[in-house]
Structure 1
């Protein structure tokens, strides 16, 4: 079997495994919807008033997308790796032609499909419920794909280093929550201390949010952010594949 066939077979198995977990399917799409309802509808934005949400609705579109782009790969890949370790599945995987990088690529492809569907749902709800003026562009696709690959690699690292599935969940949430709100997503840099603003550039999610915001609002300069994301995705994917255990 060719590498393409191996990756395709592994991706098909991972996809059907996801569909069998109804709770995971439900909350993958339900969580960002709740976020939009709370922040976009109940709280709302006040461009001419005070408060946290003072920007136009389109400004927060990257933040909503960042929820699924960040949380879903970290939790799904991390938990899958931890579950495979506990079930001695990597020991069995070592006896097959499927390499660790091919296994991680298959998992990443499944996450790209899942998060792509969730992103379409989010964009539709944001436009429908908040009236955001979003400039839809095909450039959104590579931003989502590259960011998913990046955080899948990061999730593989967490799953390989954590001692249990509970440890994966704790580590993922401890990493994801600060990244979500301190990466130029929902909180504009102007509202943060001046000394902290350069620190935001250390977060991969910052380049996703800034680049996608430029695309969503019809601006320019997104090429730099996409380039940084691509480099970081290659690095973290390679590290995640390398960290996957050969045996248990």
Structure 2
């Protein structure tokens, strides 16, 4: 069996497992729409009013996409790795030709496809609310790059967490601060001056800046931010593959 066949086989198995978890299917696609209903539908933006949600709805496209790109891979990959550890499934897989990198690639492929589909649903919902933004092809780069990036981070969390509950807790503990401190919902000028350099340490900030530059504002540098996201994705995936406890 070739490498492609091994990855494909594991990806199909992971996809079928996802479909059997109806709650996961529901919230993967319902959660993005719920966010649109709450923030774009009920909590209307007030352009020029100052403070939070003072920008046009299109300004917050990166924030909505970030919730899917960030939370889905962190929680799903993290809990999956932790579950495999608890069931000693990695030790069994270590006796097969499948490598840890191929395993992570298969699960990343499934998660990236799910995130892309959920992001498409989210963008359609935003357009239905009247938001005006560009459907740039760069969105594909940022969504897929961000998915790989946080799948790698999720693999690291699942490898060090104490069980599935610990992995989910760690995922939420990291995702929530990143979501609100990475130039997504909160404009950069609302942060204290001393804190703004700290934002540059967040990988999600480059995702948000790049998506905003591609869909809303031409002031940002799309190419540079895309390059940063892609490089970080490669590094995170490599680290995630290395730390997976293939044998314990």
TM-score bracket, normalised by the shorter chain, equals: over 0.9
Match of 1:103 in 2: 103
1:49 correspondence with 2:37: no
User: Does residue 143 of the first structure (1) align with residue 142 of the second (2)?
Assistant: yes
Give the number of aligned pairs.
Answer: 247
Q: Give the superposition deviation at 1:103.
A: 0.4
Indicate the residue corresponding to 2:171 in structure 1: 172
CA distance in 1, matches of 2:53, 2:167: 32
Listed as ranges, the gaps of 5+ residues in structure 1 are: none
Q: Give the Cα separation in 1 of the matches to 2:145 and 2:136.
A: 16
* CA offset digits 1:195-238 (Å, max 9, x no partner): 11111110000000100111112625100001111111111111
Q: What residue ranges of structure 2 are gaps of 5+ in the alignment?
A: none
Asked whether the equivalents of residues 135 and 218 of structure 1 are also in contact (C-alpha less than 8 Å), the reply is no
Q: Check whether the contact 2:51–2:190 (CA below 8 A) recurs between aligned residues.
A: no
Output one character per residue of 1:86-114: Cα deviation in whole Å (capped at 9) or x when no partner.
Answer: 11100110011110001000001001110
Greater than 4 Å deviation, 4+ residue runs = none
Partner of 1:209: 208
* Correspondence 1:33 to 2:33: yes
Q: Is the 8 A contact 1:59 1:213 kept in 2?
A: yes
Moved more, 18-27 or 48-57: 48-57
Query: Could you say what secondary structure the match of 2:46 adopts?
Result: coil
1:48 Cα deviation after fit: 2.5
Aligned residue for 2:192? 193
Three-state SS of the structure 1 residue aligned to 2:15 is helix
